[in-house]
Chain A
Amino acid sequence: MKESIIICRCSDLTQQDIRDLINEGYTTFDEIKRISRVGMGPCQGRTCLPLVLKEISIAIGIPMSDLSPGTFRPPVKSIKLEALTEEAIEGGESYLE
């Protein structure tokens, strides 16, 4: 069953894939993300992040609320580079830190 439960639709990872990585010793979301690309696709972790945290929580016995979700980076929603280029004609002065 675990082989057919999809956790990450963008990068095509199953529950079993995630459990295997946790068993290999990757026990933070950031590590699993970087080694498997979970959370790096078009959804940017919206679907998979809580599912992966839940798996980590079960495996290592730490509540989900105490686990790091990693860093959320812009943009909130993907956007074509051309659209950014058009916006940039008027803007371009500000740094958002």
Chain B
Amino acid sequence: MVKAILSKTADVVIIGGGISGCTIAYNLAKKGVKNIVVVEKSYLASGATGRCGAGIRQQWGTEMNCRMAKYSCDEFERAKEELQYDGDIEFKQGGYLIVSSTEKEHEQFKKNVKLQNSLGIPSKLLRLDEAKEIVPFLNTEGLVSATFCQKDGHLNPFHTTQAYANAAKRLGAEILTFTEVTDIIVEGGKVKAVKTTKGDISTNIVVNAAGGYAQMIGKMAGVELPLFSERHQILVTEPLEPILDPMVMSFSLNLYCQQVPHGGFIMGRGDEGEPRDLRITSGWHFVEEMSKTITKLLPPLKNARFLRQWAGLYNMSPDRQPIYGPVNEVEGFYLAVGYSGHGFMLGPATGRVIAESILGEETTLPIDMLNLDRFKEGKLIFEPSVV
């Protein structure tokens, strides 16, 4: 099905057709940029976006993650209308109930809620009896406290990405699927072109939004990025009658679980033994640990049937916050990478700030705090709240 080999020029080439690539294309197009090309090696949302846990939350532990997540959630609330999408993005604000299981974690939660409230995020610290009012069958044995934010919730990653992609296309952006980037041509410290399996695209601006493959794209432009990709696994049960409104999550127990609007329970957990070699095969150890831990926390799930498991890549940065903006060494090379497992939910903020950064505008959120040079300067603020 390979069509005629490309030979074209673009104002901006975006590498990666996940949520970030599509929101960046949409925001650039909305600001009037005409000649935008998104290059995706497979189909839209085929990588980390389409493999994620489909949750969105604002309950973070660093100011930047909180601000980007809040901005994104506010936009998600308007997305269906703004993007004029025919399908259903399955937006649900059932909240996130995050439980602590140690005193130390409880102390961190107090700090988190204070920070979140100061930024306008309506989260609250709960006693365990209050948590049980939200999830009556929650087994609180071994737990200390919880935090809850009603505005957190769920979105379908495939439809949401498609909604942004369709809107970008209506505004003139071009999306090339099943087209793989093979090299980036840099001359005199400036981006000149992108080579793909379907031909070359001359351009002065390239955005790296390649998710789990971001470090390889960086190398193509001669830029070493302090990233690695780690497999994370998820399983889903058969669809059941709705019994669980919020996402239930724990950082110390290292798990999350949400009943999606379709009825299935999606659950995942992290594991230090996960491979970091780009494998996204399925592991059995995950299923055993997942079923043991989740049925203890949410006992009615004992009777749910496990249907399918899958895996995707977390693109981990040293402080578990994204790396945004221009690369000083290579003019025209921009980064939207290193989401450390939460790139989907930050999609709208990513699109906005990267588009502004490319156009030389003042960014809505202060992304200079998230530039690549922060690692050289040792200015790291670690995100404590990641599964």
Do A and B bind? Answer: yes
The reply to whether B285 and A92 form a contact with Cβ atoms under 8 Å apart is yes
**Main SS of the interface on chain B?**
mixed
Q: Does residue A81 face the partner (Cβ distance < 8 Å to B)?
A: yes
Q: Does residue A78 face the partner (Cβ distance < 8 Å to B)?
A: yes
Per-residue interface assignment for chain B, residues 223 to 247, with 1 indicating a CB less than 8 Å from any chain A CB and 0 otherwise: 0000000000000111100000000
- How many angstroms from the CA of A42 to the CA of B264 in the assembled complex? 11
> Contacts A34-B158, A95-B273; is A80 near B310 (CB within 8 Å)?
no
- How many angstroms from the CA of A17 to the CA of B78 in the assembled complex? 28
Residue numbers in B under 8 Å from A79 (CB-CB): 305-306
Q: Which one of B5-13, B42-50, B114-122, B333-341 is at the interface?
A: B42-50
The reply to whether A35 and B288 form a contact with Cβ atoms under 8 Å apart is no
With an 8 Å Cβ cutoff, the count of chain A residues facing the other chain is 32
- How many angstroms from the CA of A82 to the CA of B43 in the assembled complex? 36
Per-residue interface assignment for chain B, residues 253 to 288, with 1 indicating a CB less than 8 Å from any chain A CB and 0 otherwise: 000000000100000000001010001011111011
Q: Does residue A30 face the partner (Cβ distance < 8 Å to B)?
A: yes
With an 8 Å Cβ cutoff, the count of chain B residues facing the other chain is 39
Residue numbers in B under 8 Å from A88 (CB-CB): 288-289, 291-292
Q: Which of A62, A71, A81, A88 has most B Cβ within 10 Å?
A: A81
Residue numbers in B under 8 Å from A82 (CB-CB): 291, 295, 302-303
> Contacts A34-B158, A44-B308, A78-B307; is A84 near B288 (CB within 8 Å)?
yes
Among A35, A84, A87, A94, point to the contact of B159 (Cβ < 8 A).
Answer: A35
Residue numbers in B under 8 Å from A41 (CB-CB): 238-239, 307
- How many angstroms from the CA of A44 to the CA of B309 in the assembled complex? 11
Residue numbers in A under 8 Å from B159 (CB-CB): 35
* A32 vs chain B, min Cβ distance (A): 10
Q: Which of B324-367 contact A (CB under 8 A)?
A: none
- How many angstroms from the CA of A94 to the CA of B273 in the assembled complex? 11
- How many angstroms from the CA of A75 to the CA of B310 in the assembled complex? 10
The residues of B with any CB-CB pair to A shorter than 8 Å are 1, 43, 45-46, 50, 87, 158-159, 162, 236-239, 262, 273, 275, 279, 281-285, 287-289, 291-292, 294-295, 301-310
Starting from the known contacts A34-B158, A85-B302, 7 additional A-B residue pairs (CB-CB under 8 Å) come to: A28-B43, A35-B162, A74-B282, A88-B291, A95-B283, A95-B285, A97-B279
23 A-B interface contacts by CB (under 8 A):
A30-B43, A34-B45, A34-B50, A41-B307, A42-B307, A44-B307, A73-B309, A74-B284, A75-B287, A78-B305, A80-B302, A81-B295, A81-B303, A84-B291, A85-B288, A88-B291, A88-B292, A92-B285, A94-B285, A95-B273, A96-B283, A96-B284, A97-B281
